[in-house]
């Protein structure tokens, strides 16, 4: 079973992976969702977007969240960020209830949210200066984060002068400059082309390995979910609820070559099965309107 590995027996087959999960579970819990539900009012009455969500995230763990359309992924991450509030239940950060946004949670969105009128350096300096850090110290710290994401040569450029992947690296640096306990990422690479997306996945893993930060990452891409995560929270839709939490048995450090690893493929297949159960959806038949010659077949 890939989900909830039986560590004692798993040691016989994959001792390194089993040891990694033992280390993860030995770390303190940073983020906790306790029976979180979110209900919205609609013209047809109440709609449950999330129902009874429960999970823990350990320090320096990398969690990905995936599920079908309408499962409440974005609603969940907004609640974790303090931008929305649960109808019932609560979010705890280091054991304290989350009641609103705070610098202890960094947020990176899919859209580019940099200030267009500020340079890369000024964008990264913005948070620390807002917290009261002096300009000289804020600039020194900002340059360290910019160097961390490999953009020191572009410190004085403006966002419009950067590629999409570079802008997202600046967004990550800006979020990390506040030294958050957890970095929340809402499909941050969804708007990037495939090649840039692959590069950003590699950059993010390098950054995460070198910074004391925990990451919760929303995605709709199955490969990305497996490639990045220690554990994957798979949500079910209507209402959004935890379907299963899967431990990823793919060893670290990760590389694109592992996409063909049997453990990677088996984990991906399990997620696909949960999101799209066999026989649940049949291909919709379109109306038969032929706009070519009957003899001009492509089969």
Would you say 253 and 210 are in contact if contact means Cβ atoms under 8 Å apart?
Answer: no
Is it the case that residue 281 has pLDDT exceeding 70?
no
Res 2: pLDDT: 47
DSSP percent split of the chain into helix, strand, coil, nearest 5: 40, 25, 40
**Interstrand relation of 62-66 and 231-236 (parallel, antiparallel or unpaired):** parallel
| Three-point CA angle 189, 168, 27, nearest 5° | 75
181-208 pLDDT, tens digit per residue, is: 999 999 999 888 999 999 999 999 999 9
Res 220: pLDDT: 93
Res 179: pLDDT: 92
Does residue 143 sit in helix, strand or coil? helix
Is it the case that residue 1 has pLDDT exceeding 50?
no
Cis, bond preceding 73 (omega within 30 deg of 0): no
- Assign 11 a pLDDT band (cuts: 50, 70, 90): low
Res 10: pLDDT: 59
Stretch 280-290: mean pLDDT: 68
Does residue 280 sit in helix, strand or coil? coil
Res 8: pLDDT: 59
pTM for the whole thing?
0.89
Q: Which residue has the tokens 């300009």?
A: 135
Question: In the chain, what are the domains?
Answer: 7-104+180-275 (3.40.50.300)
Q: What percent of the chain has pLDDT over 90?
A: 75
What is the spatial distance between Cα 102 and Cα 73, in angstroms, rounded to a whole number? 20
Res 18: pLDDT: 84
Neighbours of 155 (CB within 10 A): 18
**Interstrand relation of 62-66 and 214-218 (parallel, antiparallel or unpaired):** parallel
- Assign 69 a pLDDT band (cuts: 50, 70, 90): confident
Residue 68's nearest CA partner among 266, 283, 276 is 276
What is the spatial distance between Cα 136 and Cα 142, in angstroms, rounded to a whole number? 10
What is the spatial distance between Cα 86 and Cα 117, in angstroms, rounded to a whole number? 35
Q: Which residue has the tokens 């410190």?
A: 155
| Cα 245 from chain centroid (whole Å) | 14
Does residue 10 sit in helix, strand or coil? helix
120-145 pLDDT, tens digit per residue, is: 999 999 999 998 999 999 999 999 99
């Amino acid at each position: 079973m890939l989900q909830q590995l039986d560590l004692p027996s798993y040691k016989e087959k994959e001792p390194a992976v089993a040891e990694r999960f033992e280390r993860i579970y030995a770390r303190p819990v940073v983020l906790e969702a306790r029976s979180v539900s979110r209900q919205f009012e609609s013209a047809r009455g109440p709609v449950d977007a999330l129902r009874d969500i429960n999970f823990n995230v350990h320090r320096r763990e990398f969690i990905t969240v995936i599920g079908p359309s309408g499962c409440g992924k974005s609603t969940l991450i907004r609640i974790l960020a303090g931008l929305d509030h649960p109808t019932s239940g609560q979010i705890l950060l280091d054991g304290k209830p989350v009641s609103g946004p705070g610098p202890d949670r960094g947020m990176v969105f899919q859209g580019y949210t940099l200030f267009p009128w500020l340079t890369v350096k000024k964008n990264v300096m913005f948070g620390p200066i807002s917290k009261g850090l002096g300009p000289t110290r804020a600039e020194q710290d900002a340059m360290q984060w910019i160097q961390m994401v490999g953009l020191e040569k572009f410190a004085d450029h403006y966002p419009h002068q950067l590629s999409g992947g570079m802008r997202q690296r600046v967004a990550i640096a800006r979020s990390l400059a506040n030294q958050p306990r957890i970095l929340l990422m809402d499909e941050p690479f969804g708007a990037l082309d495939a090649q840039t997306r692959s590069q950003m996945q590699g950059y993010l893993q390098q950054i995460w390995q070198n910074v004391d930060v925990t990451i919760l990452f929303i995605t709709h891409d199955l490969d990305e979910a497996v490639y990045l995560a220690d554990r994957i929270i798979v949500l079910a839709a209507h209402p959004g609820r935890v379907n299963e939490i899967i431990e990823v048995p793919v060893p670290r450090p990760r590389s694109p070559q592992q996409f063909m690893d049997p453990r990677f493929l088996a984990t991906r297949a399990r997620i696909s099965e949960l999101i799209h159960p066999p026989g649940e959806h049949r291909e919709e038949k379109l109306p038969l309107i032929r706009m070519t010659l009957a003899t001009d077949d492509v089969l």
